[in-house]
């Protein structure tokens, strides 16, 4: 069954949002690398890769529903952040907005009785719990570390080991 047009439009926008998220995380990775926070830079880079995978899930799903996929433009990404905390605060805010988009799509899929899309979006609803929780974890720890350089460097070292 072909997807309702309104839902298809939101999914095409979400494909752009996920690839845009990859760009945002890559910008953060670049900023952290330039500040020599190599562990956080790697974490952000892995996250960027994961966002491309998220985008491709939307791409593949749209194709499987017979949609002609339009590729919307992606905004330029910021590559300057004041600190790791600043970057993770922006990441957390961004992930919350992505959760909002996913919920909006799910609400529409329920309204339109598009059961296939509800099933597909369930994966993203679960994924967003993890995405927000990871960013929140770093925000909390970096706030706790404050201006203590040793504590921040320890978090940077640990970020290299966290599998995102
Ligand atoms: Fe694909 Fe981080 O949301």
Q: How close is the Cα of 53 to the center of ligand 1, in Å?
A: 9
Q: 74 CB contacts (<8 Å, ≥6 apart)?
A: 16, 19, 20, 23
Output the average pLDDT for the chain.
96
Give the pLDDT confidence score for residue 113 in this predicted structure.
97
Question: Which atom number of ligand 1 is nearest to the Cα of residue 47?
Answer: 2
Model confidence at 41: pLDDT above 80? yes
Ligand 1 atom, smallest distance to 18 CA: 1
User: Given CA atoms 128, 129, 130, 132 in this order, what sign does their dihedral have?
Assistant: positive
Q: What percent of the chain has pLDDT over 90?
A: 96
The torsion angle over the Cα atoms of residues 58, 75, 142 and 83, rounded to 10 degrees, is 160
Q: Is residue 128 part of a domain?
A: yes
Residue 115, in any domain of the structure: yes
- Asked if residue 45 belongs to a domain, the reply is yes
- The pLDDT value given to residue 8: 98
Is 134 inside any structural domain? yes
Q: Which domain holds residue 43?
A: 5-70+81-159
Ligand 1: residues within 6 Å at CB? Answer: 18, 21, 51, 54, 95, 98, 131
Phi, psi (rounded to 5 degrees) for 90? -65, -40
pTM score, two decimals?
A: 0.96
Question: pLDDT value at position 2?
Answer: 83
């Amino acid at each position: 069954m072909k997807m309702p047009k309104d839902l298809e439009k939101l999914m095409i926008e979400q494909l752009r949002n996920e690839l845009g998220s990859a760009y945002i995380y890559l910008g953060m990775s670049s900023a952290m690398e330039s500040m020599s926070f190599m562990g956080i830079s790697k974490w952000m880079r892995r996250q960027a890769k994961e966002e491309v995978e998220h985008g491709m899930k939307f791409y593949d799903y749209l194709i499987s529903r017979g949609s002609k996929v339009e590729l919307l433009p992606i905004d330029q990404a910021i590559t300057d952040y004041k600190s790791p905390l600043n970057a993770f605060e922006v990441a957390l805010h961004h992930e919350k907005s992505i959760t909002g988009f996913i919920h909006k799509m799910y609400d529409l899929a329920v309204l339109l009785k598009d059961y296939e899309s509800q099933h597909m979006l369930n994966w993203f609803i679960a994924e967003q719990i993890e995405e927000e929780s990871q960013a929140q974890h770093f925000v909390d720890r970096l706030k706790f570390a404050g201006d203590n350089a040793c504590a921040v460097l320890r978090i940077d070292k640990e970020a290299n080991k966290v599998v995102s």
